[in-house]
A and B are shown apart, each in its own frame.
Chain A
Amino acid sequence: MAKSVGLDIHSCGVRVLEVTGRGSKFRVTRYEERAVAPMGGAPDPEELREVLSEVFKGRRFSRNCVIAAVDAHDTVVREIPVPFKSDDQIRKVIKYEAEHHLHNCDAYDVVVQYARIGESAEGTKLIVFAARKEDIARKVTACRAAGVEPLAMDLDALAMFNAVRASGVIEGAASCAMLHIGNRSTEMVFAAEGRLHALRSVRMGVDSIAQGLARDMDIDVAEAGTKLTDLAEDEEQGDLLVPVDPMSEKKETEKSHAELERDLFHVKRNEFLARLKREYVRFAATASPMSTPERVLVSGPGLLVPGLLDLLGAKLGVSLEAFQPSQVCPCKLGDTAAEQFDAGSPVALGLALKGLHNDPLGLDFRQEDWKVANKFELLKVPLAVTVTLLFFSLLVFSLFCVTKKNRIQEKRFDPMLNKAYQAYAEVARKFNDLGEVLVPRRDQVDPNRVERSGPRYLAIHRFVGSLKTMRRRLYKKVGNDKGLTPINSALKIWNDIFHVIRENHEKLGYIDFETIDIRQERITLTMIVESATAMEFLKERLKNLDSLAGLDLEPPGVDPVGKYVKTRFAFQERHRRRGR
């Protein structure tokens, strides 16, 4: 199963959450929350590196797919209209369109991302987010120092919205407002029909209560934080319903030191709630001027402040619901308290779900200078799965081929080859037996060598080839090569001529040969015969001979010698006589 880790680095610490699954089916398998001492509004880099290393190594979080958060309160958020509808066109101009709305920074110093919130005939209405590159660089550097490479980065407010949407709690709601009350800031998100509609981040978190206490009690912030925790615990044990005006119950001079501290806590909490109410009302009026949201969800560390949810609900005059991931998602929390997990996890959960491709907005703030250079990091999990599947497929295929080859070779090929080998060896032996004069040593054939040279499946073809070579060499030896005109044996022609004479001896009478000249292209016979009649008779018989079929007979000359006749028969090849 795919694993993804959400890494929320906020001003006071880190929250790391790991989910396992695919798409909408996921399960939280690990969660860790650690505090880091702040240094100038950001976590101390050295301590952050140590904490991250310890968390990832100690809790064995996966480093393959880590998604980190960008603080929304450090990001400029604007709603702007553009006269385009297609993403390609918007992407080309968005940075320059946004530049007009970025008054306190240069467009080249920010990474600009956008989300569509509405369309009209004239164009598209967008929410543009401009995150400072130096903030992105600071977080990426801190992660890299701890051996973690974030594959993508997203706004914490959008991550919280993503977590709420993926958990299905706002399914079916026409409109919904979400408040993420963090330590230093509060993010407000308005969604209509499950889609992002408006987003705002105000620099006001629950830490402001501790800071107020520290200022009024003249103690440092850390001590005020401890005191705030003690007061919260006391209040949890007591009545959670705080009187509207607790100071009016008893005179100041009659109160104990603890009561005064608690009163001060109530004052600061009320101040915080009043400011929060003011900001929320402004936000709600801008985001949805015509109607109030159907549901209002609250998440974040603010939930850990006792009574804050109820008091805020009472001040706003709406019913607030706490977003509790432990109630809506399958989780394996271990020794982490459910309240702590619910308060801290939404942002990290939303980021982790982004790694599982469960993110409809699909924004990534690791762009331009800080774009993920190593694509392998993105692809390695699917690559590993593909390579593994291919490996096993090929393994099965190879085994199949090898088995098939062995079966064919043993059952059918080898018996055939053995028979051929025996027959071939017998022929080769005879060929070699011809001796050194007829078959030079270099021409001799070794059957084993012929069989074993080259692939085994071609052995029979090699036998045939070798036999052809042997045949060709022998044909050359006996002068029987193709393309050569065969020799007509002069002995055969001679035998044929004398066979005719012997058969017709009675009719021919006396014959005496003066010369007999038999060549391939010309035959000349000079002889003395009894009479011209005998000569004509012999002439007719010789013309009919098969062995003289290709030759023309020149008119024989007649020369009387006493009572006999001397004559000369000359047979000539036809084309020669024509003078070719």
Chain B
Amino acid sequence: MSDDPLKLYVVVMAILLCVLAFVAVKSYKESSAFERAVEEGPRVAKQFKTNASKVQTLCNQLSKSKLRKGYLSLIEDAAQYCHVNFVSLKPQNDKRLRGGGKERRFVFEFRKSGRASNLTRGQVANLCRTVEMYSQGVLKTIEVQLYRATEPGAPAPGKEEIVKGDVYRGKVIFGLRVVE
């Protein structure tokens, strides 16, 4: 220990000064930060509201959808709901998009085979609508390919364009685009 009390005092005060300077700078920064946070309040609140509103909308949308079991189950449930038989329902290879991201695709194929039957245009349209509704717009109908399954008859003039009993075979591709 130093025998000079003034020297000891200077050293102790210098240490205290360093500590106090640290505390002072910290307090000043915190005080300024709180002041700034309060001043920025309205702007941040606006951002907060915008984002919260969007998240809530999306949450509500997804809560109403039937996506929890997966995309294939959703399409299968929709087909069951529409009383539609199919020969195959399987995921297709993802398609890469030019601007980045990929397209996930699920192929729903139908034709007369075994217990499955050909479908009318109305049945196909109904299936597509149900899938989009079940998924709350998450799954979209990407492609529709219908081929008439029977020979056309000789319709009388003035006959309605949708002929009862006109059935089609083909496939519908459902899917969504996601970022990789």
Instruction: Mark A residues whose CB is within 8 Å of B.
Output: 63-64, 147, 376, 380-381, 383-384, 387-388, 390-391, 394-395, 397-398, 401-402, 404-405, 408-409, 412-413, 416, 420, 423-424, 427, 430-431, 433-435, 437-438, 455, 457-458, 460-461, 463-464, 467-468, 470-471, 474-479, 481, 483-487, 489-491, 494-495, 501-502, 505, 508-520, 528, 530, 562
Contacts and interface: CB of A to CB of B under 8 A. Distances in A.
Contact of A398 (B23, B100, B132, B144): B23
A517 B168 CA distance: 12
Nearest to B49: A423
5 contacts: A401-B27, A434-B59, A458-B37, A484-B99, A490-B143
Contacts of A388: 13
B58 A471 contact: yes
Interface in B146-165: 146-148, 152, 154-155, 157-161, 163
B146 A413 contact: no
B55 A474 contact: yes
A478 B61 contact: yes
A510 B101 contact: no
Nearest to B131: A491
B97 interface: yes
A404 B142 contact: no
Nearest to B54: A471
Contacts of A394: 17, 20-21, 24
Given A398-B20, A481-B101, A491-B141, A437 B51 contact: no
Contacts, number: 237
Given A424-B52, A512-B166, A376 B24 contact: no
Nearest to A432: B59
Those 8 A-B pairs whose CB atoms lie nearest each other, nearest first: A479-B176, A401-B27, A467-B51, A405-B31, A511-B161, A474-B58, A430-B59, A487-B140
Contacts of A509: 157-158
Given A387-B17, A408-B35, A401 B24 contact: yes
A408 B55 contact: no
Contacts of A398: 20, 23-24, 27
B34 A413 contact: yes
A491 B128 contact: yes
B16 interface: yes
B99 A478 contact: no
Contacts of B176: 478-479, 487
B58 A512 contact: no
B17, B23, B58, B63: residue with the most chain A Cβ atoms closer than 10 Å = B58
Interface of A is mostly: helix
A437 B67 contact: yes
A289 B177 CA distance: 114
Interface in B114-144: 121, 125, 128-129, 132, 136-138, 140-144
Given A420-B48, A489-B140, A491-B144, A478 B62 contact: yes
Contacts of B28: 397, 401
B30 to A, nearest CB: 5
Contact of B175 (A383, A408, A483, A487): A487
B31 A408 contact: yes
Given A468-B51, A516-B144, 13 more contacts: A387-B10, A391-B13, A416-B38, A423-B48, A434-B59, A434-B62, A460-B37, A471-B55, A476-B178, A478-B137, A485-B99, A487-B140, A491-B129
B138 A478 contact: yes
B56 A427 contact: yes
Contacts of A501: 161
Interface of B: 3-4, 6-7, 9-10, 13-14, 16-17, 20-21, 23-24, 27-28, 30-31, 33-38, 41, 44-45, 47-48, 51-52, 54-56, 58-63, 67-70, 97, 99-101, 103, 121, 125, 128-129, 132, 136-138, 140-148, 152, 154-155, 157-161, 163, 166, 168, 172, 175-179
B144 A384 contact: no
Contact of A384 (B9, B37, B97, B140): B9
A495 B144 CA distance: 12
A79 B13 CA distance: 49
Nearest to B61: A478
Contact of B31 (A404, A437, A468, A517): A404
Given A390-B17, A505-B161, A455 B33 contact: yes
B175 to A, nearest CB: 7
Contact of A463 (B4, B48, B142, B179): B48
B97 A484 contact: yes
A405 B146 contact: no
B148 to A, nearest CB: 5
Nearest to B127: A491
A513 B63 CA distance: 39
A7 B178 CA distance: 91
Q: Quick one: which of A388, A430, A489, A491 has the most chain B CB within 10 A?
A: A491
Contacts of A431: 55, 59
A435 B24 contact: no
A475 B58 contact: yes
A409 B34 contact: yes
A380 B157 CA distance: 117
Interface-central residue, B28, B31, B44, B176, by most chain A CB under 10 Å: B31
Given A384-B6, A475-B58, A494-B144, A483 B48 contact: no
A268 to B, nearest CB: 48
A423 B38 CA distance: 18
B177 A479 contact: yes
